[in-house]
């Protein structure tokens, strides 16, 4: 056989019904690749809930960093007919479709030219339908021509507890799948070059955010289950007992956030996590944390809204909710990590900012970032910065020994303690309950520097203004320590793509693709949403020629925040609110169009994903496809 | 030995003259003093309402937070530092109205803390609307023709939900109330002390004389506090005779006793922030 040219990245889609074991098969494959020195990006798409239970994992492997799940489908593993119906026509020439001939009859007429159809007679081969996925994995590795050592190792690890017999059955099934392809089929026409041999970590945004918080000393996490935040709860609880972290499932999100605030008040580093709907319930407590100056981290993993919306779909529609949550004005931090590795960094940073500035820190990602699997080169686990800010640990409080000029009378005396001392930074040194001599009450009603409520007095404008300004002043300090935004790519680009959070990487991919076409594009990926770094962002945007926003929402929320804070209008816009993440091609095509046509008027384009079903598809006439509604809330 | 004066806060209570809450504050100060718990080791948590202003009036660490959320904050505080004596305080609207969901689940968890509810059967701070414990047919500002809903029984609810120390006191009997509170704080588990704490301004029905005519002490009738069924029966006794005292007490492991992360015995807030197991955790991603 003649050697074909190698590609630098390729995609495998594994689709089937919920319960077919897509996630574990897909994760095994992804992990085998990451252990073999490939960069991996996997996105598990739960297709239409109404038509029921369809799951498709898109796995892309590359010799260099892959930023997204990619566009084409090179290889398809179809565990049911639905998958075949939807995606067979999309498989690219040189690729292959693998399926179990016991499950359905694949219509060869639907298979594009140049695509191999590989039907495994699973029962005949291995005598056990439970081995379907393992046999198909063997076949897949064979057709891809990938080294099977890593996946064999994973099978051994996975079935280790079940004993040698189970390991052997699985390895046999794997080998038989591989042998079947070797005997009856050709190797795939799309082959990837060798990986670099480095075993990279492979993780999702939620676990890495949890890991970051743990690394920074998280001791208490409370939550009410809600997709897509639940995997953060699950990851944390897996390590909680041995890591000395208390994880508490609560009766609702109101309890969850208030428990975290209670734990934060006594000095345990505390966080809670939820999706948009749960965050709506937590809203009142965001202001509670700010007013009582209690450190707390609140994670909001966005999904499609409004209301219960699209429980298993992604969207970036909650920025305004985060920004506006809770009545009144107070300092808050909103961070939106952009990559899986950055979820870790932001987890660490959020814990520190909450303590140092005694404010609620809101961390927001979305389903696409939280539930994807992505390789990265590592994160800082050896020298994790820990900053609690100023603490008072003895009865010798925070008031100067010399007569002070606070001028508020009351309990002020040298060596005394004022919990809410008016300082130039706005941050008051904090004593934890249990410390002798520094007793105070933290109140959500307006209070003076000693914590004594002034809500019951007739009126006290001076004290109110003092405390309001003291709290708000923290924003200046926060702005000083936030990492500065940067432009990725050439500084003199002809087009700048602007977005926040999870769309960062699809913008990077578009930039790289367009660079290959000889076009000059760069990317402004906003990570720090609030306080908004207006001066820095404005300075960057002023250098830009053409600008186009890329946002997973309808209104263009980050665009509006940029305009509100800098007065700068992003010129063109690409938006998506169909529940699926941007596909690289959608961004590349629109960016190219803008670059080539340089429209005088602002262009607002929206894109959608193709769900893959044939036109006039009826779930009623296709009960095998329409069955099994897998709802997840 | 600590004295009541050691627990007097910086602020003088601004409750209406004659408010039942004065007695509750005094009884609580007396109970903590009798138990000789240092003020800095006490964390009092409240929500919103007249009675929820209590943390400011007592010399102890306080958290005076949102309406109805005292129990989750108090639970978090106890989980974060179980070396503290945690006491949640508030009113019937705060605890049995807006916060009743938390009440149900906090009872269930049997966290080692005390919940004192100043139950005046009315919303006082908002000037006299019906509360969950307002008796049926009583006219209030929001129910001029009388309440339509039946009153909730805090004692029965606490029993049903698994509270392990369930008591009722009366602001008209301060020493008895202090004894109940002392028992509640000493009790290892979730303790409710529901207190008839009359609102002299907005509740003209459940007044001091009204209670005095009706209340009697369970201990005077040799009530068996280990008998759950009897406690439930007594919980619904209302009308000519209304019981005060300890309805029920039982021992079962607290939440903290069973929480895996607390097995070391060390409070979460006292554990180091720097970790040495990160490389091992990282291995799971490879």
A157 with A208, same domain: the answer is no
Adjacency order of strands within the sheet including A333-335: A246-249, A220-223, A270-275, A296-302, A360-366, A333-335, A528-530
A66 with A33, same domain: the answer is yes
| Euclidean distance between CA atoms A400 and A417, whole angstroms | 10
Does residue B102 sit at the A interface (CB-CB below 8 Å)? yes
pLDDT in tens, A421-456: 999 999 999 999 999 999 999 999 999 999 999 988
A208 with A357, same domain: the answer is yes
On chain B, the residues whose CB falls within 8 A of the CB of A211 are 281-282
Q: Is residue A417 part of a domain?
A: yes
* Residue B246 token pair: 């300890």
pLDDT in tens, A145-203: 999 999 999 999 999 999 999 999 999 999 999 999 999 999 999 999 999 999 999 99
A344 with A207, same domain: the answer is yes
Q: Is residue A220 part of a domain?
A: yes
Which residue, A482, A509, A538, sits at the end of a domain?
Answer: A482
CATH number of the domain encompassing residue A550:
3.40.50.920
Q: Is residue A151 part of a domain?
A: yes
The nearest CA of chain A is from the CA of B155 a distance in Å of 21
| Euclidean distance between CA atoms A116 and A95, whole angstroms | 7
Q: In the predicted model, is pLDDT for residue A409 greater than 70? A: no
A37 with A17, same domain: the answer is yes
pTM attached to this predicted model: 0.96
The tally of domains found in chain A comes to 4
A368 with A462, same domain: the answer is no
**Residue A396 gets which letter from DSSP?**
S
On chain A, the residues whose CB falls within 8 A of the CB of B268 are 219-220, 244, 246, 263, 268
Considering only CB atoms, B275 lies closest to which of A215, A292, A456, namely A215
The percent of residues in chain A predicted with pLDDT above 90, rounded, is 87
The percent of residues in chain B predicted with pLDDT above 70, rounded, is 100
CATH number of the domain encompassing residue A73:
3.40.920.10
A505 with A586, same domain: the answer is yes
Q: Is residue A74 part of a domain?
A: yes
A560 with A573, same domain: the answer is yes
Confidence of residue A48 (pLDDT cuts 50, 70, 90): very low
On chain A, the residues whose CB falls within 8 A of the CB of B59 are 439
Residues facing residue A361 across a β-bridge: A297, A333
Q: Is residue A567 part of a domain?
A: yes
φ, ψ for residue A427, nearest 5 deg: -95, 130
Q: Scanning every residue of chain B, which has its alpha carbon at the shortest distance from the alpha carbon of A266?
A: B77
Alpha-carbon distance values, A527 to A455, A566, A588 (Å)? 37, 16, 22
A468 with A548, same domain: the answer is no
A441-468 burial string, b = 16+ CB within 10 Å, else e? Answer: bbbbbbbbbbbbbbeeeeeeeebbebbe
B256-280 burial string, b = 16+ CB within 10 Å, else e? Answer: beebebbeeeebbbebebebeebee
pLDDT value of position A5: 82
Does residue B101 sit at the A interface (CB-CB below 8 Å)? yes
CATH number of the domain encompassing residue A250:
3.40.50.970
Does residue A563 sit at the B interface (CB-CB below 8 Å)? no
The tally of domains found in chain B comes to 1
Is the separation of the CB atoms in A336 and A553 below 8 Å?
no
Domain that holds residue B23: 4-283
pLDDT value of position A614: 60
A144 with A230, same domain: the answer is no
pLDDT value of position A496: 98
| Euclidean distance between CA atoms A119 and A127, whole angstroms | 15
A496 with A549, same domain: the answer is yes
pLDDT value of position A193: 95
Q: Is residue A77 part of a domain?
A: yes
Residue ranges of B 2-21 with Cβ closer than 8 A to chain A: 10-11, 14
Q: Is residue A629 part of a domain?
A: no
A594 with A454, same domain: the answer is no
Q: Which of B276, B281, B277, B273 is nearest to A378 (CA)?
A: B281
CATH number of the domain encompassing residue B253:
3.40.50.970
φ, ψ for residue A212, nearest 5 deg: -60, -45
Domain that holds residue A228: 203-375
Interval A584-595 mean pLDDT = 98
| Euclidean distance between CA atoms B220 and B245, whole angstroms | 9
pLDDT in tens, B71-80: 999 999 999 9
The nearest CA of chain B is from the CA of A269 a distance in Å of 7
Is the separation of the CB atoms in A212 and A348 below 8 Å?
yes
pLDDT in tens, A204-241: 999 999 999 999 999 999 999 999 999 999 999 999 98
pLDDT value of position A622: 54
- In this predicted complex, what is the ipTM? 0.98
């Amino acid at each position: 056989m003649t050697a074909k040219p190698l590609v630098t990245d390729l995609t495998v889609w594994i689709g089937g019904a919920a319960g077919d074991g897509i996630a574990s098969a897909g994760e095994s494959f992804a992990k085998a690749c990451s252990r073999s020195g490939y960069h991996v990006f996997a996105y598990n798409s739960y297709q239409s809930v109404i038509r029921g239970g369809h799951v498709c994992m898109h796995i892309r492997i590359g010799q260099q960093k892959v930023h997204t799940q990619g566009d084409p489908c090179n290889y398809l593993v179809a565990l049911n007919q639905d998958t075949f119906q939807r995606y067979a026509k999309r498989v690219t020439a040189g690729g292959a479709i693998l399926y179990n001939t016991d499950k359905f009859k694949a219509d060869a007429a639907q298979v594009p030219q140049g695509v191999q159809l590989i039907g495994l007679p699973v029962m005949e081969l291995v005598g056990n339908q439970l081995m379907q996925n393992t046999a198909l994995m063997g076949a897949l590795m064979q057709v891809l021509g990938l080294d099977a050592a890593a996946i064999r190792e994973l099978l051994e690890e996975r079935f280790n507890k079940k004993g040698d017999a189970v390991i052997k059955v699985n390895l046999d099934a794997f080998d038989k799948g591989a042998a079947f392809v070797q005997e009856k089929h050709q190797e795939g026409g799309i082959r990837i070059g060798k990986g670099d041999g480095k075993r990279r970590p492979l993780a999702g945004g939620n676990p890495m955010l949890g890991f970051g918080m743990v690394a920074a000393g998280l001791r208490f996490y409370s939550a009410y289950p809600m997709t897509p935040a639940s995997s953060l709860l699950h990851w944390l609880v897996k390590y909680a007992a041995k890591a000395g972290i208390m994880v508490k499932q609560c009766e609702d999100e109101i309890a969850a956030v208030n428990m975290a605030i209670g734990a934060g008040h006594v000095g345990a580093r505390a966080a809670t996590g939820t999706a948009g709907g749960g965050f709506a319930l937590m809203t009142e407590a965001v202001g509670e944390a700010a007013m009582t100056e209690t450190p707390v981290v609140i994670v909001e993993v966005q999904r499609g809204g409004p209301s219960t919306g699209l429980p298993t779909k992604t969207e970036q529609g909650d920025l305004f909710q985060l920004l506006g949550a809770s009545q009144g004005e107070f300092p808050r931090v909103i961070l939106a990590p952009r990559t899986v590795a950055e979820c870790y960094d932001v987890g660490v940073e959020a814990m520190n900012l909450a303590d140092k500035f005694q404010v609620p820190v809101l961390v927001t990602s979305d389903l696409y970032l939280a539930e994807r699997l992505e390789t990265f080169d590592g994160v800082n686990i050896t020298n994790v910065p820990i900053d609690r800010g100023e603490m008072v640990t003895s009865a010798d409080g925070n008031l100067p020994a010399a007569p002070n000029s606070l001028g508020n009378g009351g309990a002020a005396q040298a060596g005394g303690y004022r919990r809410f001392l008016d300082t130039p930074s706005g941050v008051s040194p904090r004593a934890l309950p249990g410390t002798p001599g520094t007793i105070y009450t933290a109140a959500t009603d307006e209070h003076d520097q000693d914590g004594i409520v002034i809500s019951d007095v007739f009126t006290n404008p001076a004290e109110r203004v003092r405390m309001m300004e003291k709290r708000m002043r923290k924003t200046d300090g926060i702005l000083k320590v936030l990492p500065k935004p940067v432009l990725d790519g050439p500084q003199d680009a002809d087009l700048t793509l602007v977005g926040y959070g999870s769309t960062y990487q699809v913008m990077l991919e578009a930039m790289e693709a367009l660079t290959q076409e000889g076009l000059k594009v760069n990317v402004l990926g906003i990570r720090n949403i609030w306080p908004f770094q207006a001066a820095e962002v404005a300075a960057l945007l002023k250098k830009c020629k053409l600008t186009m926003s890329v946002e997973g929402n309808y209104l263009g929320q980050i665009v509006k925040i940029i305009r509100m804070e800098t007065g700068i209008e992003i010129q063109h816009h690409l938006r998506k609110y169909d529940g699926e993440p941007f596909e690289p091609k959608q961004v590349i095509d629109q960016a190219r169009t803008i670059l080539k046509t340089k429209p005088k008027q602002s262009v607002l384009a929206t894109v959608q994903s193709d769900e893959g079903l044939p036109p006039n598809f009826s779930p009623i006439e296709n009960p095998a496809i329409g069955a099994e509604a897998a709802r997840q809330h | 030995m600590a004295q009541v004066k050691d627990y007097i806060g910086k602020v003088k209570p601004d409750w209406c003259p004659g408010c039942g809450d004065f007695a509750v504050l005094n009884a609580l100060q007396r109970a903590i003093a009798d138990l000789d718990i240092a003020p800095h080791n006490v964390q009092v948590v409240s929500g919103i309402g007249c009675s929820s202003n209590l943390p400011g009036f007592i010399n102890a660490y306080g958290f005076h937070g949102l309406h109805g959320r005292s129990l989750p904050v108090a639970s978090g505080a106890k989980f974060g530092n179980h070396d503290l004596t945690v006491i949640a305080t508030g009113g019937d609207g705060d605890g049995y109205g807006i916060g009743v969901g938390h009440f149900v689940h906090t009872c269930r968890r049997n966290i080692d803390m005390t919940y004192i509810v100043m139950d005046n059967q009315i919303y006082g701070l908002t000037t006299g609307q019906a509360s969950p414990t307002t008796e049926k047919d009583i006219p209030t500002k929001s129910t001029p023709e009388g309440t339509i809903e039946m009153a909730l029984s805090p004692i029965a609810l606490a029993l049903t939900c698994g509270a392990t120390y369930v008591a009722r006191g009366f602001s008209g009997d301060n020493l008895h109330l202090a004894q109940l509170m002392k028992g509640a704080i000493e009790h290892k588990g979730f303790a409710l002390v529901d207190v008839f704490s009359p609102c002299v301004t907005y509740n003209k029905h459940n007044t001091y004389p009204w209670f005095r005519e009706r209340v009697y002490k369970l201990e005077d009738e040799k009530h068996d506090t280990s008998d759950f069924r009897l406690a439930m029966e007594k919980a619904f006794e209302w009308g000519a005779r209304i019981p005060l005292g300890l309805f029920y007490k039982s021992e079962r492991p607290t939440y903290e006793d069973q929480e895996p992360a607390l097995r070391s015995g060390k409070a979460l807030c006292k554990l180091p922030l720097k970790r040495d197991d990160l490389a091992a955790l990282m291995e799971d991603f490879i």
